[in-house]
């Protein structure tokens, strides 16, 4: 299992960079104290958290920097190579107030979702999805990968995708440690419930953490793979089983074809489901209407049903997944 080493957290820093437009390419610790950042309010509203969760009034956000001293980072642009990997991580979480930077967290503990962005974009690209998950009762941590995030100058390097699984595991360790978790959510992360999620190359990364023998992390209890594929990572896929998986894919994806998710389902012998989004492309599936609201809702419904099921969570999932333009297949 990668990235299980000690994480020490962050210094106060600047607000998170604004979202940049995606490239045409495949979208594919030593630390100190947590930093704060301001993120935009959700542009979509999904249903509230399941009954029994603390009252959530809004979404808080903060920023932390986790440094893994055990793995190096190559040079990028004017930044020299280093002997460690620095993971600037935006965290969205349920708040007992209207939300905002470093807002008070709502009482209770919440499942963790670690999210992997696509190639040459950043975590802020997915703010609607990630902030809505927080509104539903999840703590969401989204690192900026040092070689593929658009937050950094210099050309992005897709060859570094194979190192991102270790980054995700390291963030899981940092977020579930009482010592290194950002102070805004310390003591409010349920370490027994951790999902990985990612889009495009981030989907490849999340799938590897959950299902690839070389980087498999046994702490993962659910996986959501958005426009992903079984590529880049050596080793065997699904050899050791793995957690329940939802694959979401647009049928008109010109980057990673829809068949990529079909192959994921065919290889997985465990609990699995595929949400086909008719006519959707690669990134627009998550960022533009009419797809965005429907997809965000089903993803949250799926996590609710898998990670904290209720008597009606499956009914809610089935209803939302039956919306026009969506085809949901479970096995």
Encode the chain (331 residues) as per-residue pLDDT tens digits.
434 444 444 432 333 333 333 333 344 333 332 222 222 223 333 344 555 556 899 999 999 999 999 999 999 999 999 999 999 999 999 999 999 999 999 999 999 999 999 999 999 999 999 999 999 999 999 999 999 999 999 999 999 999 999 999 999 999 998 778 999 999 999 999 999 999 999 999 999 999 999 999 999 999 999 999 999 999 999 988 899 999 999 999 999 999 999 999 999 999 999 999 999 999 999 999 999 999 999 999 999 999 999 999 999 999 999 999 999 999 9
Residue 242 lies in a domain: yes
Structural domain for 317, as ranges = 58-330
Total domains in the chain come to 1
Residue 49's pLDDT is 56
Query: Quick check: 104 and 84 in contact, CB under 8 A?
Result: no
Helix (H, G, I), strand (E, B) or coil at 191: strand
Residue 34 resides in a domain = no
DSSP strands (E only) in 132-183:
139-143
Q: Give CA–CA dist 113/29, Å, rounded.
A: 20
Query: Could you tell me if residue 237 is inside a domain?
Result: yes
Peptide bond into 290 cis (omega under 30): yes
Closest CA to 143 of 186, 102, 112, 109: 112
Assign 324 to helix, strand or coil.
coil
Burial of 81 (0-12, 13-18, 19+ CB in 10 A): exposed
Tell me the CA distances in angstroms from 145 to 160, 267, 295, one per residue in order: 9, 28, 24
**C-alpha count within 13 angstroms, C-beta hemisphere, residue 87:** 37
Does some domain include residue 286? Answer: yes
Q: For position 63, what pLDDT does the model report?
A: 97
Rounded to whole angstroms, how far apart are CA atoms 213 and 39?
36
Give domain status of residue 62, yes or no. Answer: yes
Tokens 């040459």 found at:
120
Note whether residue 1 is domain-resident.
no
CATH number of the domain within which 188 lies:
3.40.50.1820
pLDDT of residue 54: 63
- Tell whether 260 is covered by a domain: yes
- The answer to whether residue 28 sits within a structural domain is no
């Amino acid at each position: 299992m990668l990235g299980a080493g000690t994480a020490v957290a962050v210094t106060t820093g600047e607000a998170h960079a604004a979202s940049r437009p995606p490239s045409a390419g495949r979208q594919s610790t030593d630390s100190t104290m947590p930093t704060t950042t301001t993120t935009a309010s959700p542009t979509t509203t999904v249903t509230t958290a399941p009954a029994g969760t603390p009252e959530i009034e809004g979404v808080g956000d903060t920023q932390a920097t986790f440094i893994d001293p055990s793995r190096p980072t190559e040079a990028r642009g004017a930044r020299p190579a280093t002997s460690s990997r620095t993971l600037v991580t935006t965290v969205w979480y349920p708040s007992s107030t209207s939300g905002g930077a470093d807002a008070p967290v709502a009482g209770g503990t919440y499942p963790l979702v670690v999210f992997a962005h696509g190639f040459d974009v950043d975590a802020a690209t997915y703010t609607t999805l990630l902030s809505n998950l927080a509104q539903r009762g999840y703590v969401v941590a989204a690192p900026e990968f040092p070689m593929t995030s658009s937050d950094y100058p210099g050309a992005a390097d897709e060859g570094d995708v194979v190192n991102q699984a270790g980054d995700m595991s390291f963030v899981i360790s940092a977020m579930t440690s009482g010592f290194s978790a950002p102070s805004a959510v310390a003591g409010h992360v349920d370490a027994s419930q951790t999902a990985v999620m990612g889009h495009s190359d981030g989907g490849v990364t999340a799938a590897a953490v959950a299902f690839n023998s070389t980087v498999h992390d046994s702490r993962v209890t659910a996986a959501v793979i958005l426009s992903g594929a079984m590529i880049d990572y050596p080793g065997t896929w699904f050899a050791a089983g793995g957690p329940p998986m939802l694959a979401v894919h647009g049928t008109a994806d010109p980057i990673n074809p829809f068949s990529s998710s079909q192959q994921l389902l065919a290889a997985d012998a465990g609990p699995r489901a595929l949400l086909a989004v008719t006519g959707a492309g690669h990134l627009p599936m998550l960022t533009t209407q009419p797809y965005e609201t429907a997809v965000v809702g089903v993803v949250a419904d799926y996590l609710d049903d898998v990670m904290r099921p209720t008597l009606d969570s499956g009914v809610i999932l089935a209803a939302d997944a039956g919306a026009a333009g969506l085809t949901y297949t479970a096995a």
